């Protein structure tokens, strides 16, 4: 089978569009699509310092691989940050991979840990949580967002790039829908160009399966061991549900993504609220105390 765009042998067949692509044409299609997303949502501007949050998984290393290429032909710089949650034995392999990948690309890399920021590792936080209702991923995600804000400030970046892909976006949307949290759906709008610290997701329009193939075909090394807490919460079930739909109805994820985009854009405009600063830490929040401080204070209260 020949590539749809050149004379090479095809290596990937994109079911939702019917294209068969060779490895080279496939990779350039992913780079082009990422560039298109970046410009569509004005994610990166001239002179930006972008900190790329790299966990050591395939998505974040593929994102780093692509942003590094782009930074050489465009007017922006990148630095790499890694958040260490403090899960014994889990982060070590990833840190080694990231370190050698960054030194190969000659990019500055810095590690920030939950322990130094919150005086709690995720392991400790999970041990002292009151009940299983606070899922590990929701505690971890809240901590991670705050840790990334801090890291961006430390390295002097005005943009944080994370590797959330189209599948992650759909899962988050359905999680917010099933829990009735429509405010959070408004926050999913990818356009953050008005903010001083912009959080961008350049892979938000790319299927996870295509990022896997990009990493594989570009021989990007990545951590394969999954997080030991991954199966808590409903995300895994939703992920499998969406994959089984896509198998039978190729392209259905793209359709759902377009709906999520329109809904989140409308909701953001409709639910725009004034932000306050947290009484405890001074960060932006919608109530008196921000969500991070709420969790940290609650966990510490349970503990004492
Ligand atoms: Zn080709
Ligand atoms: Zn706070």
Condensed to tens digits (0 to 9), the pLDDT of residues 171-214 reads 999 998 998 888 788 888 888 877 889 999 999 999 999 999 99
Domain containing 52 equals 40-272
Question: Is 116 among the domain residues?
Answer: yes
Q: Are 257 and 169 in contact (CB under 8 A)?
A: yes
Instruction: Tell me the CATH number at 124.
Output: 3.40.50.620
Percent of the chain with pLDDT over 70: 95
Question: Is 24 among the domain residues?
Answer: no
Over residues 136-165, the mean pLDDT reads: 91
- Length reported for the chain: 304
Condensed to tens digits (0 to 9), the pLDDT of residues 1-44 reads 999 999 999 999 999 999 999 999 999 999 999 999 999 999 99
Closest alpha carbon to 64 in 86, 39, 97, 93: 97
12 C-alpha to ligand 1 centroid (Å): 10
Question: Is 226 among the domain residues?
Answer: yes
25 C-alpha to ligand 1 centroid (Å): 4
Q: Confidence band (pLDDT; 50, 70, 90) for 130?
A: low
Counting the structural domains of the chain, the total is 2
Q: Confidence band (pLDDT; 50, 70, 90) for 267?
A: confident
Whether residues 93 and 208 share a domain: the answer is: yes
In the block, residue with structure tokens 């399966």: 209
109 C-alpha to ligand 2 centroid (Å): 27
29 C-alpha to ligand 1 centroid (Å): 10
Whether residues 56 and 103 share a domain: the answer is: yes
CA dist 186 and 188 (Å) reads 5
Whether residues 69 and 191 share a domain: the answer is: yes
214 C-alpha to ligand 1 centroid (Å): 14
Whether residues 266 and 284 share a domain: the answer is: no
The secondary element (H helix, E strand) that includes residue 177 is helix 166-178
Sign of the Cα pseudo-torsion (184, 190, 196, 197, in order): positive
Q: Is the pLDDT of residue 133 over 70?
A: no
Closest alpha carbon to 56 in 31, 87, 93: 93
Q: Is the pLDDT of residue 56 over 70?
A: yes
291 C-alpha to ligand 2 centroid (Å): 7
274 C-alpha to ligand 1 centroid (Å): 50
128 C-alpha to ligand 2 centroid (Å): 20
294 C-alpha to ligand 2 centroid (Å): 7
Whether residues 100 and 237 share a domain: the answer is: yes
The ligand that comes nearest to the alpha carbon of residue 149 is 2
């Amino acid at each position: 089978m020949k590539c749809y765009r050149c004379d090479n042998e095809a290596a990937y067949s994109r079911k939702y569009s019917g294209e068969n692509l060779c490895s080279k044409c496939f990779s350039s299609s992913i780079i082009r699509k990422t560039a298109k997303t970046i410009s569509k949502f004005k994610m990166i501007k001239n002179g930006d310092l972008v900190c790329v949050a790299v966990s050591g998984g395939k998505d974040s290393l593929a994102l780093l691989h692509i942003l590094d290429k782009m930074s050489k032909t465009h007017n922006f710089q990148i630095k790499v940050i890694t958040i260490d949650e403090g899960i014994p034995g889990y982060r070590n392999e990833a840190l080694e991979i990231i370190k050698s990948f960054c030194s190969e690309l000659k990019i500055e890399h810095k590690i920030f840990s939950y322990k130094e920021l919150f005086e709690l590792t995720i392991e400790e936080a999970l041990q002292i949580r009151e009940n299983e209702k606070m899922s590990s991923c929701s505690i971890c995600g809240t901590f991670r967002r705050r840790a990334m804000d801090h890291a961006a400030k430390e390295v002097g970046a005005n943009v944080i790039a994370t590797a959330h892909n189209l599948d992650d976006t759909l899962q988050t949307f359905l999680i917010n829908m099933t829990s009735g949290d429509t405010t959070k759906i408004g926050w999913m709008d990818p356009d953050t160009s008005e903010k001083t610290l912009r959080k961008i997701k350049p892979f938000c329009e790319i299927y996870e399966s295509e990022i896997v193939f990009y990493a594989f075909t570009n021989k990007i090394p990545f951590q394969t061991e999954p997080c030991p807490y991954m199966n808590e919460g409903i995300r895994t079930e939703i992920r499998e549900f969406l994959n089984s739909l896509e198998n039978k109805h190729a392209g259905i994820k793209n359709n759902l993504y377009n709906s999520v985009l329109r809904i989140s854009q409308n909701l953001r405009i409709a639910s725009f609220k004034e932000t306050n600063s947290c009484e405890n830490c001074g960060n932006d929040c919608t109530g008196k105390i921000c969500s991070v401080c709420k969790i940290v204070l609650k966990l510490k209260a349970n503990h004492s």
